[in-house]
Structure 1
């Protein structure tokens, strides 16, 4: 794969992590309008609901800060993405993100309603159709996503608990305010690649990873029954 061709295809000139034009959608999903949240429906016991028919909210029990807690999740149903998923709306504020490289959503960690700009989950779909290899090249290219943000690749693996993940690229960055950690999760469906990315200060790992990975765990492709 020619790294330059991949970088041109994906127009990697602008990194999602440094987007300044993101706008927090109004009313934080009140009324279920901002991200086309599906109207509440009652799923049948069998078969399970498709991605299009998933209920608008659900309750999930997770470990948070070393103890079990029930968290209310909101359906994220963005038509431009080939999947739907859930996220804890009480703890994350969604932003729409767009550049020449692609479009998507940033879920900004916002405990007590206070957004933390350096703690988030990105869900990104390239503007142009890209294969898994091309997207991987874009992330790892000497002028790609990791390099432009001065993130150092520390590990990579294709052994991941989420079945849709083709490869996990783990990165780290040393800053004056401490260590930043995160991972880029590469996925592909019907020849179209996409990625979900976590980004957070090392000190936030306990709580953020429990909440931030909910979107990864609950991803369901639209063509799945």
Structure 2
């Protein structure tokens, strides 16, 4: 079974360019997506946001995590063993490398996870061709594809919703020394790829740590469309705290303002009909919460939607749902999700039910997200 180590391998993509670039671990200079690639020493230091426990050589070990956000994705990574380098933006795309750190702090550029998003929207077939085509990344780096065995499966990485396919590879010289995987993914309709590359003797330490990066990889929203998902802080590219003008620009569509409340400080704005049942509460011209109503097909990031049972909501958010009586429906409830992260302590996700199924839900900042009458 290659799935476990390969899944870890996938995390960050290499760079897609008009001219394929050579990515060599033994080269003292890091691969660059553009002439503006930033040296490791000058990278900003992320702030540790949490810890997690992973299995390393069969033993549980707690590792500190740092978070990273780029224009295209966000994730967490074990800061004890990875150093991050981002390539400068260009028309070709954006690449990010997670290089392996030895215990003494030195960097091994033969061991990395790399994620790359093309500058222009490309299909999965175009991204695949860029990797394995005649003038692609594989040939430029003297890699060759490896056939998956009949017993191989990547079911273990099915929890990565962006994953569409993977390609195993090895170097043409010293093929026994390196484990390589290229992952083809898609987020918000944008195709990208991730390359994992490491010496085989690193597998026990590298794979479980890289797995953390993969599990936490999420796309940064672009625009607002019918496939956008609700989070604690927004939906699509629209975030709580934006002005109405900023939200309209981020969503890529006009927002229609409804009649303000008598106080004249609270109102709702609505996107186009292509985003059904979504409304933004506005307080003093800034987005305070997002409401999903009227049998809307929109979902939360975890997949919760109108029509789900109360039991399913509790399954999706185990141990984090509190239940209180509904103010107007005799058998109804409010199911309130309270996040664990300190940075999200002022946000909530609230599901209203008729006692059996979700009838509407909303997210946003306190106290506005708790107002059961909205702006009334």
Band the TM-score falls in, shorter-chain normalisation: 0.7 to 0.9
Q: Which residue of 1 is the match for residue 19 of structure 2?
A: 12
Q: Is the 8 A contact 1:108 1:117 kept in 2?
A: yes
Equivalent residues in 2 for 1:112-191 (5 A)? 112=103, 113-155=105-147, 159=155, 160-161=157-158, 162-176=160-174, 179-191=177-189
Equivalent residues in 2 for 1:1-225 (5 A)? 10-16=17-23, 19=31, 22-26=37-41, 29-30=44-45, 32=46, 57-78=49-70, 80-81=71-72, 83-98=73-88, 101-112=92-103, 113-155=105-147, 159=155, 160-161=157-158, 162-176=160-174, 179-223=177-221, 224=229, 225=231
Tell me which moved more, 160-169 or 15-24.
15-24
1:121-163 deviation line (CA, Å, top 9, x unaligned): 1011112221111101111102211121111111367753322
1:16-57 deviation line (CA, Å, top 9, x unaligned): 557267543446643x3xxxx7xxxxxxxxxxxxxxxxxx61
1:35-90 deviation line (CA, Å, top 9, x unaligned): xx7xxxxxxxxxxxxxxxxxx61211111132110111111111x21x21111112
Structure 2: state its 5+ residue gaps: 1-15, 25-29, 222-228, 232-376
CA distance in 2, matches of 1:185, 1:148: 18
CA distance in 2, matches of 1:66, 1:29: 33
Matched residue SS, 2:80: coil
Q: Is the 8 A contact 2:101 2:108 kept in 1?
A: yes
Q: Is the 8 A contact 1:158 1:165 kept in 2?
A: no
Matched residue SS, 2:107: coil
Matched residue SS, 2:64: strand
Structure possessing the higher radius of gyration over alpha carbons? 2
- CA 1:122–1:131 in structure 2 vs 1: closer, same or farther (change >3 Å)? same
CA distance in 2, matches of 1:75, 1:171: 29
Q: CA RMSD in A?
A: 2.6
**Number of residue equivalences:** 192
Q: Is the 8 A contact 2:115 2:195 kept in 1?
A: yes
Q: RCO greater where, 1 or 2, for CA within 8 Å and sep 6 or more?
A: 1
Structure that is richer in helix per residue: 1
Matched residue SS, 1:138: helix
Q: Which residue of 1 is the match for residue 348 of structure 2?
A: none
CA distance in 1, matches of 2:138, 2:91: 17
CA distance in 2, matches of 1:27, 1:19: 16
Q: Is the 8 A contact 1:93 1:108 kept in 2?
A: yes
Q: Is the 8 A contact 2:144 2:172 kept in 1?
A: no
